[in-house]
Structure 1
Amino acid sequence: MAVWRARAVLSGLPAKLLTPVLTTGLLFAALPARAEPRPTVKQLKKELADLQKDSDKLITEYYASRIAHQEADKAEKAAREKLATAEETYEHHSTSLRAMAVAQYTGGGEPNPITFLAGEDEPSARLGRMALVQHLVDVQDARVHGYAQVMDDRRKANDEATERAEELADTVDDLGERKKKAEQQIEKIKDRIDLLHAAPGVRNSDGTWVPELPDGSENITPRMRLVRDLIADRFGVPYGIGCYRPIQDGGEHPLGRACDFMLSRGGAMPSGDEPARGEEIAAWAIKNARRLGIMYVIYRQRIWHVRTGAWRPMSDRGGTTANHYDHPHISVY
């Protein structure tokens, strides 16, 4: 209805007034919608830092819950051990008391200290035996009440430990799921940061890149420097990164177009999480190879080349470092 009214109003306007109105409308229609501004590296890194802070907090809560769970298990175990000791002691004294009662009833049994102080037929001996039995009964009653309290405490501790364990199990599961989601979000932001960087230099029509000359005190090319810095920021590489070396071995190191990302020191085989770190670096390089001008990757006696897009085995060169078990090697065009 509004459209028809607008048309009726416009049709009633003079031509000299109608033209500016239509022109203005066309201009507004031709203007593109404003796109959201692209985030900068600085903005994304701040977002990443905030997420990592939240992730660290989740991890702290996760492990605190696990420790509390373990403490609840220890408390429940201690309660069970205490109960077992109490029941054993109770059974021992109950047996002794029953045996003494039978012996006193039948007139037999082992002599006691009071028997030595008075003859068996004297009234004092009988009173002594009665007093001893009563004393033992009183002691046993006290113990029975004590053990009953122990058993009651044990039951309460067991119920509390079970309830706490269930609560903690739910908490741990929830924190684990939140931690997983946080880590996924962190990886997405890292990918977005990577995509904001473009490889320097000129790319050929066949997908290869025009070689660059090394520069700076590090004697590596701008392209290699970008790849090195992105990997260092993303993966840490605590054992260091080696790039330029003057030895002419037919590779890209003396050309400033290769870096080694070390996973151990002194030629030792990497341990712990380091082999997995190497796999992650290699996978990242393969994923970003065409965009960043990466030519090939070597890791764990295998080589991946951008032209073939697949790993192939390499011959044995005789050592952990020579076979690239302690570092991924990345070469750029």
Structure 2
Amino acid sequence: MAVASPAGRRRGSLGSRTAVLAVVAALLIVPGTAGHADPKPTVKSLEKELAGLRKDSDRLIEDYYHGRRELQQVEKAEKAAREKLEAAQEVYDREATFLRTLAVAEFMSGRRNQLTLVAEEEDPADLLNRLALRDHMVAQQQARLSGYAEVRDRHLHAQEEAAARAEELSTSVDDLAGRREKAEKQIERIRDKIDQLHKAPGRSTDGTWLPQLPGGADNITPRMRLVKTLIDKRFDVPYGIGCYRAIQDGGEHPLGRACDFMLSRGGAMPTGAEIQRGHDISAWAIKNAKRLGIMYIIYRQRIWHVRTGAWRYMSDRGGATANHYDHPHISVY
């Protein structure tokens, strides 16, 4: 039998090793291809999902408020039934007391011998008339008492039914509220995902922000325009967004790097709901500051800067608008 040369053995060994590596590579590659991760969602797909969730959330909110109104009506009916029951019970108790008084009087008179009573009376006819009148009054009171008892029992039944319905509705309303809360949380998660897909332009590899020139019809920088668009879409600013102004006041507005998100008009103090909207916008801006190139935020006579990451109070500038009580101000790099 021929013996393989050392070179031949090395070639055979290398060939076997190559074949084994090829098989291992194939085993590694094939599962990787089969288990390939789903592509990242796009803004368009997330916005479509968000629109569907909003529709579901709006329906849940409508059902919730319908349930609340019905619950209030049932609770009102239960209260009315309880008040009527109390009134009927009061009349019933008064009539029952009067009837017991008659019964006691009858008992006391019944203990005496009827003949003695007749003998003692000057006119037996008067006695008979009084007895007949008393019996008539007792019968009349018993009839009234029976009527009041019927009214009382009817109101008691109505109250029990209303209380049971109120309990049922309360459970349903609580369930709707829980589902609405879950839908709103899911909406917030999708909104956050959409925000994460947006990256502010003009960031260098070392993390600093390159200067940008303003442009477009609104005369603001691309970085400021992205922040403005995202906030307007997410919070639906009702009183307008003011950005560029030509007055050289040393701020970022003339540079196209700042916007004011108005919560009221004409310098009026905003409502409680609008004040909260301002807090929500400010919190969102802080959360996304480093990714979107936000430099600082001013709201309600306080300023937050990305370098310090904390709020500090500002000096009084003399009015609601000057002190930013009616709008959050956001400046970008």
The TM-score normalised by the length of structure 2 is: 0.80
Counterparts in 2 of 1:127 and 1:268: CA distance versus 1, 3 Å: same
* Percentage of identical aligned residues: 63
Q: Show the counterpart of 1:83.
A: 85
Cα displacement string for residues 165-188 of structure 1 (whole angstroms, at most 9, x for unaligned residues):
333333333333222222211111
State yes or no: 1:180 paired with 2:189. Answer: no
Q: Is residue 97–residue 136 contact of structure 1 (8 Å, CA) maintained in 2? A: no
Contact between 2:96 and 2:145, CA under 8 Å: does it hold in 1?
A: no
Contact 1:237/1:263 (<8 A) preserved: yes
1:4 maps to which residue?
Answer: none
Q: Deviations over 1:93-126 (max 9, x none)?
A: 455566678889999xxxxxxxxxxxx9595x77
1:1-333 maps to which residues of 2 (within 5 A)? 23=22, 26-27=25-26, 29-30=28-29, 33-94=35-96, 132-203=133-204, 205=206, 207-333=207-333
The one-character-per-residue Cα deviations of 1:63-114 (angstroms, maximum 9, x if unpaired) are: 333333323322222222212222333344455566678889999xxxxxxx
2:102–2:138 Cα contact (<8 Å) kept: no
- Structure 1 residues 74 and 22, CA gap change in structure 2 (3 angstroms): same
Runs of 5+ in structure 1 lacking a partner?
Answer: 1-14, 108-119
What is the one-letter code of the residue matched to 2:313?
P
- Deviations along 1:252-290, one digit per CA (max 9) or x if unpaired, are 111111100011111111212111111111111111111
**SS in structure 2 at match of 1:322:** coil
Q: Note the C-alpha offset of 1:41.
A: 1.2
Deviations 1:237-258 (A, max 9, x none): 1111111111111111111111
- The aligned residue for residue 5 of structure 2 is none
Q: Is the 8 A contact 2:85 2:156 kept in 1?
A: no
| SS of the residue 1:47 aligns to | helix
How far does the alpha carbon of each residue in 1:289-311 deviate from its partner, in whole angstroms, 9 at most, with x for none? 11111111111111111122222
CA distance in 1, matches of 2:162, 2:300: 48
RMSD: 3.2
TM-score (norm 1): 0.80
Q: Secondary structure at the match of 1:331?
A: strand
Structure-2 separation of matches of 1:172 and 1:192: 30
SS at match of 2:244: coil
Shift of 1:23: 3.7
The one-letter code of the counterpart of 1:212 is: Q
Distance 1:204 1:324 in 2: 35
One-letter amino acid of the counterpart of residue 77, structure 2 = A
SS class of match (2:220): coil
Query: Using the alignment, how far apart are the partners of 1:185 and 1:91 within structure 2?
Result: 58
CA distance in 2, matches of 1:32, 1:64: 49
Distance in 2, matches of 1:32 and 1:81, equals 71
**1:188-226, CA deviations, whole angstroms, 9 ceiling, x for partnerless residues?**
100000111111224362x33112111111111111111
SS of equivalent residue, structure 1 residue 237: coil
Which amino acid letter does the alignment assign opposite residue 174 of structure 2?
D
Unaligned 5+ runs, structure 2: 1-13, 110-121
